[in-house]
């Protein structure tokens, strides 16, 4: 097991930030920690890394107890925090070299690793740039280079794409997948469900320091009743027709606002066909029709009664 | 790894233009302002000799002894200004010169010596003291000649007797001439030393996970925190020492502020002063769990109060504090730095200088120890820097 957390409790005074939480991260996976802002993701990560004192529980990394002075464990961990942690007075190369040098003593080896890391995040053309000259996205890439240059076996990324442009975001996500393919185990925290869905092999959803659900994205979606959500635009409906739609097979919820119809179906077959048949029979004209499968937001919504981004 | 950390700490500090301004350029600018403000003060303080008009009447012409004595005190001896500068004039001219303020007093022999002044002051007092001494000496001679008439014929004995007598001489406490303005420049140097604390704050912030994001990242690395701290202190110390040396060089070569000739001891004072400043910063940085701005504000206040007590605003304040509350003078690093330079400048012995340096080193050791105790922990109850992205 790469990370094992048992019954972790962390309190800030009266507030319980992490509430009897247990988790396991397996070798070679991309483990997603999904939750809204303030759900306890960063606190959990800081406890795992022994930065924060915690009230109760056990944490082990690489099957050894984690402690502030567990340098042999720390040597194999790379951390990318949600805020950029670099020195403004050092160039891209110097920043990467400085942080890599805290892990790797050999100069030649370090030079090779630093070159590789800068190339990996696509900052070769910016090696002699100072952080203030970099855009937000490039700065995030530098932040990642500083965290991974020493080739860690475990990489923890805490919301690395906050306030990043779409191009850099894709670059970062692709990079994470490549790091995983090269053998690193990844822990990825985010409140962006699309990112977690896109790259994570296993996901844990947390809220108020407690586990809401855990599993692969397919497993998580199978835990809820929603099977399909159908939206029909620019359609004229009256109360009778809305009642008729509500009586179609597998319909759990009907919404109608500004001539836009939203029908949520439970799991079942031919849901869309049934709805289209009804509209055709009533000889109604309509605009675009969309059908989508449930998202992790729907999972979160069903378990907590609130949106993931609330 | 120590050298790796040290190298990059140096680079970071040398690239920190804001702190470089406050620790190096600001004291230099302030020293220029001091020079401009004190240039007149210095001129007022320098002694140029009292100006007298001597009435060239018959009594004066016949008094050879007084003429010779006057000649001896109006001669220039080396770099020192003569005690008196004299004009031999008629009685009318003497009155005019006195009225116009061109002389401080008029000496008139009728035949007893009289001094005429139209106001009181230091120069009038000097002339009066000179004349009183002359009268006393001449009376002694007259008495001697009456009781020992052979002296009139034995010139050698008379010379020997008179050679021991000197009129009003300026006597300093030590090897250099008194210059009140140097106290201000020394206090400025002490202030600059304490500004080294700004580097100290940075040193601590960069290794504390609850202070900066970089501190958090460094805490996650397999590097011992004390190693990081010592490398930072060493880098800050060297930079602060070089800055203080440049400040002294500037004051000495450009502003012509006198520091005496003992370069080695002056540099030692800078070295120890820089260490005290930096470690004061690490202590405040470690003890106050607030943002860097608040810490700098606190240190600025401490530095200005300590420098003020060491004579930065009023030179006499330093002496007042030393006399009235000596303990304050001994626990004030700024005063110890000022006093070390002062002792080097004025005294021939090194006891006072050594005491000041010893106390500064002791303070640095205490600051270091307390810093260690305040930052040694490895885990934190909360890490606001990570949430706030400092």
DSSP tag of B97: H
Cβ within 8 Å, pair A71-B380:
no
Is the backbone of residue A151 left (phi > 0), alpha (psi -120 to 50) or beta? left
Closest chain B residue to A75 measured between Cα atoms?
Answer: B222
How far, rounded to the nearest angstrom, does the alpha carbon of residue B339 sit from its chain's CA centroid? 8
Specify the pLDDT at position A309. 59
Range with the poorest average pLDDT among A52-61, A197-206, B148-157, B203-212? B148-157
Q: B378 touching A, CB under 8 A?
A: yes
What pLDDT is attached to residue A83? 86
The answer to the question of residue A304 being in a domain is: no
Q: Which pLDDT does position B78 carry in this prediction? A: 64
Domain extent at residue A246:
225-293
Query: Would you place residue B390 in the very low, low, confident or very high pLDDT band (cuts 50, 70, 90)?
Result: very low
Q: Which residues of A touch B212 (CB under 8 A)?
A: 85
* Residue-level pLDDT at B387: 53
Which tokens sit at B56?
């060239």
**Segments forming the whole domain that contains residue B209:** 2-42+179-388
Residue A78 lies in a domain: yes
CA angle, B94 then B100 then B105, to 5°: 50
| Mean pLDDT (chain B, rounded) | 83
Does residue B86 share a domain with residue B112? yes
pLDDT tens sequence across B286-337: 888 888 888 989 999 998 988 888 777 777 777 777 778 888 888 899 999 9
**pLDDT bucket at B47, cuts 50 / 70 / 90:** low
Same domain, A230 and A191: no
Tell whether B147 is covered by a domain: yes
Tell me: pLDDT of B144 over 80.
no
CB atoms B1 and A82 under 8 Å? no
Among B14, B18, B214, B387, pick the best mutation site for testing chain A contact (most A Cβ within 10 A): B214
Confidence band, pLDDT 50/70/90 cuts, at residue B72: confident
Contacts for A66 with CB less than 8 Å, ≥ 6 apart: A48, A49, A50, A59, A60, A73
Q: Do both B292 and B233 map to the same domain? A: yes
My answer on whether omega of the bond before B39 falls inside 30° of 0, hence cis, is no
Residues A162 and A177 in one domain: yes
The answer to whether residue B169 is domain-embedded is no
pLDDT confidence of residue B67:
86
Domain assignment present for A173: yes
Domain count, chain B: 2
In this structure, of A19-23, A262-266, B228-232, B377-381, the range with the lowest mean pLDDT score is: B377-381
- Asked if the model's pLDDT at residue B251 lies above 80, the reply is yes
Same-domain status, A188 and A233: no
Residue A25 C-alpha, separation from nearest chain B C-alpha, in angstroms? 19
CB contact under 8 A, A81 and B213: yes
> Pseudo-torsion of CA A13, A19, A23, A29, nearest 10°?
-70
Q: Write the pLDDT tens digit of every residue in A27-54.
A: 999 999 988 888 899 999 999 999 999 9
Q: Which run of H or E residues covers position A216? A: none
The reply to whether B190 falls in a domain is yes
Closest CA to B227 of B113, B361, B90, B376: B376
Q: Are residues A196 and A233 in the same domain?
A: no
* Shared-domain flag, residues A193 and A243: no
Give the model's confidence band at B158: pLDDT under 50 very low, under 70 low, under 90 confident, else very high. Answer: low
Q: What pLDDT does residue B129 have?
A: 84
CATH number at residue B116: 3.40.190
The DSSP result for A144-200, as a single string, is HHHHHTT--SEEEEESTTTT--HHHHHHHHHHHHHHHHTT-EEEEEES-HHHHHHH-
Compute the radius of gyration of chain B from its Cα atoms.
31
Which of B20, B220, B377, B385 to substitute to test the interface with A, most A CBs within 10 Å? Answer: B220
User: Is the confidence at residue A305, as pLDDT, over 80?
Assistant: no
Predicted pLDDT at B389: 46
Let me know whether A191 and A268 are in one domain.
no
- Shortest alpha-carbon distance between residue B14 and chain A (Å): 8
At which of B108, B134, B163 does a domain end? B163
pLDDT interval class at B177 (50, 70, 90): low
Instruction: Answer whether B12 sits within 8 Å of A82, measured CB to CB.
Output: no
Q: Are residues B116 and B203 in the same domain?
A: no
Whole-number pLDDT of residue B378: 64
Express each pLDDT in A179-238 by its tens digit.
Answer: 999 999 999 998 888 888 889 999 999 999 999 889 998 888 888 888 888 999 988 888
Residue B385 is predicted with a pLDDT of: 56
DSSP state letters, B150-207: GGGT-HHHHHHHHHT--------SSSS---THHHHHHHHHHHHHHTTHHHHHHHHHTT
State residue A294 phi and psi, 5-degree precision: -65, 150
Q: Which residues of A touch B16 (CB under 8 A)?
A: 89
Least confident piece of the model among A58-72, A121-135, B128-142, B150-164? B150-164
**Whether pLDDT at B102 is above 70:** yes
Q: With an 8 Å Cβ cutoff, is A62 touching chain B? A: no
- H or E element: which one contains A1? none
Q: Does residue B321 fall inside a structural domain?
A: yes
Residue of B5, B221, B382 with shortest CB distance to A12: B382
Closest CB to B220 among A79, A84, A101: A79
Whether B172 is covered by a domain: the verdict is: no
User: Number of H helices and number of E strands within chain A?
Assistant: 11, 14
Which residue from B8, B218, B388 is facing A94, i.e. has the nearest CB?
B8
- Give the mean model confidence (pLDDT) for residues B219-244: 92
The pLDDT value given to residue B36: 83
Domain assignment present for residue A1? The answer is: no
B246 interface with A at CB cutoff 8 Å: no
Q: Which residues contact B60 (CB under 8 A, 6 or more apart)?
A: B54, B66, B67, B109
Q: Are residues B138 and B103 in the same domain?
A: yes
Task: Say how many domains are in chain A.
Answer: 2
Length, in residues, of chain B: 390
Chain Cα centroid distance, residue B66: 41
Domain closes at, from B119, B138, B163: B163
What CATH number is given to the structural domain containing A285?
3.30.70.100
The verdict on residue A105 lying in a domain is yes
User: Is the same domain home to A201 and A241?
Assistant: no
Count Cβ atoms within 10 A of the Cβ of residue A16 and give its class: 0-12 exposed, 13-18 middle, 19 or more buried. Answer: middle
* B151 and B189 assigned to the same domain: no
**A105 and chain B: CB distance < 8 Å anywhere?**
yes
The whole-angstrom distance between A166's CA and the closest CA on chain B is 22
CATH of the domain at A148: 3.40.50.300
Confidence grade of residue A310 (pLDDT, cut at 50, 70, 90): very low
| Six token digits for residue B341 | 């330079």
């Amino acid at each position: 097991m790469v990370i094992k957390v048992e019954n972790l409790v962390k309190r800030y005074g009266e507030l319980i930030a992490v509430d009897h939480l247990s988790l396991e991260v397996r070798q070679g996976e991309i483990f997603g920690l999904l939750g809204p802002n303030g759900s306890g993701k960063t606190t959990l990560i800081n406890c795992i890394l022994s930065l924060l004192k915690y009230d109760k529980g056990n944490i082990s990394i690489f099957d050894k107890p984690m402690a502030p002075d567990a340098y042999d464990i720390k040597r194999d961990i790379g951390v990318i925090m949600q805020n950029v942690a670099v020195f403004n007075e050092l160039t891209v190369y110097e920043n990467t070299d400085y942080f890599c040098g805290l892990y790797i003593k050999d100069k030649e080896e370090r030079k090779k690793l630093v070159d590789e890391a800068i190339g990996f995040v696509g900052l070769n053309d910016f090696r002699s740039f100072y952080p203030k000259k970099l855009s937000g996205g490039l700065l995030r890439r530098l932040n990642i280079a500083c965290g991974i240059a020493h080739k860690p076996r475990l990489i923890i990324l805490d919301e690395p794409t906050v306030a990043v442009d779409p191009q850099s975001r894709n670059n970062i996500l692709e990079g994470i997948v490549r790091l995983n393919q090269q053998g690193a185990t990844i822990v990825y925290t985010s409140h962006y469900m699309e990112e977690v869905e896109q790259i994570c092999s296993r996901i844990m959803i947390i809220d108020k320091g407690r586990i809401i659900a855990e599993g692969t994205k397919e497993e998580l979606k199978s835990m809820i009743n929603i099977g399909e959500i159908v939206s029909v635009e620019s359609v004229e409906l009256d109360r009778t027709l809305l009642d008729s739609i509500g009586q179609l097979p597998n319909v759990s919820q009907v919404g109608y606002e500004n001539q836009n119809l939203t029908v949520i179906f439970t799991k079942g077959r031919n849901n869309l066909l049934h709805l289209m048949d009804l509209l055709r029979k009533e000889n109604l004209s309509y605009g675009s029709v969309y059908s989508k499968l449930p998202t992790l937001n729907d999972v979160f919504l069903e378990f907590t009664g609130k949106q993931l981004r609330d | 790894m120590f050298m790796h950390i040290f190298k990059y700490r140096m680079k970071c500090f040398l690239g920190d233009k804001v702190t470089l301004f406050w620790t190096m350029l600001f004291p230099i600018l302030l020293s220029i302002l001091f020079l401009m403000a004190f240039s007149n003060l210095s001129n007022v303080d320098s002694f140029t000799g009292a100006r007298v008009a001597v009435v060239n009447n018959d009594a004066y012409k016949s008094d050879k002894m007084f003429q010779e004595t006057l000649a001896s005190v109006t001669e220039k001896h080396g770099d020192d200004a003569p005690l008196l500068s004299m004009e031999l004039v008629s009685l009318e001219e003497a009155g005019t010169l006195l009225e116009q303020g061109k002389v401080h007093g008029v000496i008139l022999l009728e035949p007893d010596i009289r001094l005429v002044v139209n106001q009181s002051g230091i120069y009038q007092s000097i002339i009066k003291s000179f004349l009183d001494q002359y009268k006393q000496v001449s009376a002694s001679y007259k008495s001697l000649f009456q009781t020992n008439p052979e002296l009139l014929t034995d010139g050698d004995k008379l010379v020997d007797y008179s050679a021991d007598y000197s009129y009003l001489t300026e006597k300093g406490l030590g090897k250099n001439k008194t210059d009140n303005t140097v106290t201000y420049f020394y206090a400025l140097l002490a202030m600059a030393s304490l500004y080294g604390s700004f580097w100290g704050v940075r040193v601590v912030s960069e290794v504390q996970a609850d202070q900066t994001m970089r501190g958090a990242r460094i805490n996650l690395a397999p590097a011992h925190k004390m190693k990081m701290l010592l490398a930072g202190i060493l880098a800050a110390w060297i930079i602060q020492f070089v800055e203080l040396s440049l400040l002294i060089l500037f004051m000495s070569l450009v502003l012509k502020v006198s520091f005496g000739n003992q370069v080695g001891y002056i540099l030692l004072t800078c070295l120890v002063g820089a260490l005290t400043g930096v470690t004061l910063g690490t202590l405040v940085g470690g003890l106050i769990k607030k943002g860097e701005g608040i810490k700098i504000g606190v240190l600025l206040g401490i530095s200005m109060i300590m420098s003020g007590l060491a004579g930065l605003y009023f030179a006499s304040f330093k002496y007042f504090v030393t006399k009235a509350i000596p303990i304050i003078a001994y626990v004030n690093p700024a005063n110890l730095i000022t006093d070390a330079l002062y002792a080097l400048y004025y005294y021939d012995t090194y006891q006072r200088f050594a005491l000041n340096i010893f106390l500064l080193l002791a303070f640095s050791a205490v600051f270091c120890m307390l810093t260690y105790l305040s930052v040694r922990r490895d885990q934190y109850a909360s890490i606001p820097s990570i949430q706030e992205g400092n």
